[in-house]
Chain A
Amino acid sequence: MEDCLAKKMEITVSEAEKRTGRNAMNIQETYTAYLIETRAVESQSEGQCGPVESLWRRYSEFELLRNYLSVTYPHIVVPPLPEKRADFVWHKLSADNMDPDFVERRRIGLENFLLRVASHPVLCQDKIFYAFLTQEGGWKEMVNETGFQLKADSRLKALNATFRVKNPDKRFTELKHYSDELQSVISHLLRVRARVADRLYGVYKVHGNYGRVFSEWSAIEKEMGDGLQSAGHHMDVYAASIDDILEEEEHYADQLKEYLFYAEALRAVCRKHELMQYDLEMAAQDLTSKKQQCEELATGTVRTFSLKGMTSKLFGQETPEQREAKIKVLEEQIQEGEEQLKSKNLEGRDFVKSAWADIERFKEQKNHDLKEALISYAVMQISMCKKGIQVWTNAKECFSKM
């Protein structure tokens, strides 16, 4: 934490702008560009700040950055990006990507992403990340030159590994299970929350009708008129207050969404481990079979059924020279194989160690963040209630004057 970029540099995504341009297929499109501002901060207490530098990036570039980080640091739980398309919306919220509220929430999400990466002890040191923040032109080319796409594991390979791996580290299996459950429960939560918001909106808005009726009623009354009229006004206030309340709640929903997407990042690390473990197991298996072959050739015994054995029985055995040559080849391969196995083992152990360290770090971060999110949610609810009490107390006073 001491050396992370976040301490040395102020990072903000301060603006969003609609742009039109030509994309890779030379088709005109509209997209939103985000302004990233950075400023070097001296760690001394004088707080001397450098000049503000800025550049524009669009969402697809953020995606590219993240892909690069995921492939290059497979043992790290890489922070997720805010959602590409609006999901879990309750009816009033727009699902349109160009909607200003959505863009605004996305801006905040992108800033959050950058801050998370910048405060990660490993990720913050990456040069591509630094360039993303400071170098506008030629960044894409720089990323592609790293050739990270080649390092990416194919999905098929990963899937294969998941099913066939025999001895994955138990902790990773549990972690994968956890991240599946987490994803499921948070999705469910967000869906229900959206419905709850919808209904609450309805309740508040219908109270607005009281305002209108009270006003009309007050017109025909003599003594009751004033009281009714002013109470009606409070009903209008009540009905209008729900808009702000629900906007604040969206922020809470976004915090939950971040961890929903984090679950995916966790799963990615687990998958990588499974892949490596599977690779290891395959290599070990290969080595064993080669050793076995060698032994068979040397001793002339056929322990297991093999096509070679059959054909040699049918067509006659090989000459001693042929056999020698084969044994030699095998012995070389075995040598290679053992070295490879050793290094794969080492790789695997290193991976498990560093991945697990990052997972622990992630767990602490998650517990801290979610606790805070729940607290702020509770505070929001209390404030909503206090507002409700205020409005109804005011209305009651008006009624008492009738």
Chain B
Amino acid sequence: SSGPKSLREMPHPLATSSSEEMGPALTPSPDLLLPRSIADKDLSLPNGTPVDTSSPASSSSLLNRLQLDDDLDVETRDLFVTVDDPKKHVCTMETYITYRVTTKTTRAEFDLPEYSVRRRYQDFDWLRNKLEESQPTHLIPPLPEKFVVKGVVDRFSEEFVETRRKALDKFLKRITDHPVLSFNEHFNVFLTAKDLNAYKKQGMALLSKMGESVKYVTGGYKLRSRPLEFAAIGDYLDTFSLKLGTIDRIAQRIIKEQLEYLVELREYGPVYSTWGGLEVELSEPLEGVSACIGNCCTALEELSEDMTEDFLPVLREYILYAESMKNVLKKRDQVQAEYEAKLEAIALKREDRPKVPTDVEKCQDRVECFNADLKADMERWQNNKRQDFRQLLMGMADKNIQYYEKVCVT
């Protein structure tokens, strides 16, 4: 890589007459930009607060990380996080579940090599919000759904708790694998602090002192033209969510049909038994058939359970993921729109050129940064998604194969 490019070397966006060319000029290749955006100390928000990209040990190590294969080798990973051991807590005010979060690491950012803390869903939710606030240009993985309709789902049933645990584990692992998010300060605290609530309160106090939350809240700027690739990503995500939604519905329908089939099978088996009671010579084979059908019922039940517990949640997770990604895209659009508006304002004023005022420069930075982060994240996401779905669908196929094998044996 040719090292960081200075701002002034970048072609002025408004120098070219057509607005389309804004797009490519604003988004140079990610592996060039990312270390630059970290190393460039000028990076800050309009109100002066530094952007909360946690500083890595060095930008070169970050580069190393990027140039690795997407399937990170276990040897080069230096942070491992697991979510397990759900426990129910009964207090006077409420009942809730906590999960054990175990961390093993060799990173310098952590004081100890191992940590074990207990966290509840609220804490994960807090973490996610913090990440969204502090890393608005990145795609934050989704959490399992927050609210469950009481009465329909038992919040404390084994299946529900286990499904949630898996999703929370996935959530943390995705953050762990992210070269930027995993170095986030809040993430560190989440993994290590004995008393998270104290930290949370502290954070709130700090925020109120700042006066303004660290958010890219830009109102009412209209985007001139969305760069093609982001438009394409937007379209892709729309279709993707749609298709996943359809698959979710189909899978649910199949499970429903399977359960109805199961109901009939449950009546079918015993009839053979009754008949067997009537016969002398035939009673053994008839009983045999009855027993077989009973075994088929069990196998089918297992299949439906597996699909409900393993397959459906992952689909839903990706739909949530796509939703949050679309939000990030919208934010990106807003940032770009703001930048364009500012640029236009300058052009109209026709003030001294070529020196571009600092705040516009900063806007441009933001846009570029955003785009780059987003692109990098998208690529990573696509790969992970491919892996995840490969695993998911293969798992589905496997389960069905297992079902048939069980039935065959019986």
Q: Verify if B345 is at the interface (C-beta below 8 Å from A).
A: no
Interchain CB contact under 8 A, A224 and B250: no
Q: Verify if B156 is at the interface (C-beta below 8 Å from A).
A: no
Q: Within the assembled complex, what's the spacing in Å between the Cα atoms of A186 and B282? A: 14
Q: Within the assembled complex, what's the spacing in Å between the Cα atoms of A399 and B279? A: 49
Q: Within the assembled complex, what's the spacing in Å between the Cα atoms of A181 and B271? A: 12
Q: Verify if B111 is at the interface (C-beta below 8 Å from A).
A: no
Chain B nearest Cβ from A348, distance in angstroms: 27
Contact with A along B248-267 (1 / 0, CB 8 A): 00100110011011011101
Interchain CB contact under 8 A, B390 and A216: no
Mostly, the A contact residues are helix
Q: Nearest CB to that of A391 among chain B residues?
A: B400
* Interface range on chain B (Cβ under 8 Å from partner): 35 or more
Q: Verify if A196 is at the interface (C-beta below 8 Å from B).
A: yes
Contacts of A188 on B, CB cut-off 8 Å?
Answer: 271, 274
Q: Within the assembled complex, what's the spacing in Å between the Cα atoms of A202 and B255? A: 11
Residues of B174-225 contacting chain A, CB below 8 A = none
Q: Verify if A396 is at the interface (C-beta below 8 Å from B).
A: yes
Q: Nearest CB to that of A235 among chain B residues?
A: B250
Q: Verify if A192 is at the interface (C-beta below 8 Å from B).
A: yes
Q: Nearest CB to that of B236 among chain A residues?
A: A220
Kindly identify which residue among A198, A203, A213, A399 contacts B247, using a CB–CB cutoff of 8 Å: A213
Choose, from A150-158, A324-332, A367-375, the stretch at the interface. A367-375
Interchain CB contact under 8 A, A389 and B397: no
Contacts of A224 on B, CB cut-off 8 Å?
Answer: 386, 389-390
Q: Nearest CB to that of A209 among chain B residues?
A: B250
Choose, from A65-73, A298-306, A377-385, the stretch at the interface. A377-385
Q: Nearest CB to that of A193 among chain B residues?
A: B268
Q: Verify if A23 is at the interface (C-beta below 8 Å from B).
A: no
Chain A nearest Cβ from B385, distance in angstroms: 8
Contact with B along A208-238 (1 / 0, CB 8 A): 0110010011001001100100010000000
Residues of B374-410 contacting chain A, CB below 8 A = 386, 389-390, 393-394, 397-398, 400-401, 403-405, 407-408
Kindly identify which residue among B285, B286, B393 contacts A399, using a CB–CB cutoff of 8 Å: B393
Can you list 15 A-B pairs, Cβ within 8 angstroms, ordered by A? A178-B278, A192-B268, A200-B261, A206-B250, A220-B240, A371-B285, A374-B289, A388-B403, A389-B405, A392-B398, A392-B404, A395-B397, A396-B394, A396-B397, A400-B394
**A residues within 8 Å of B by Cβ?**
178, 181-182, 185-186, 188-189, 192-193, 195-196, 198-200, 202-203, 206-207, 209-210, 213, 216-217, 220, 223-224, 227, 231, 367, 370-371, 374-375, 377-378, 381-382, 385-386, 388-389, 392-393, 395-396, 399-400, 402
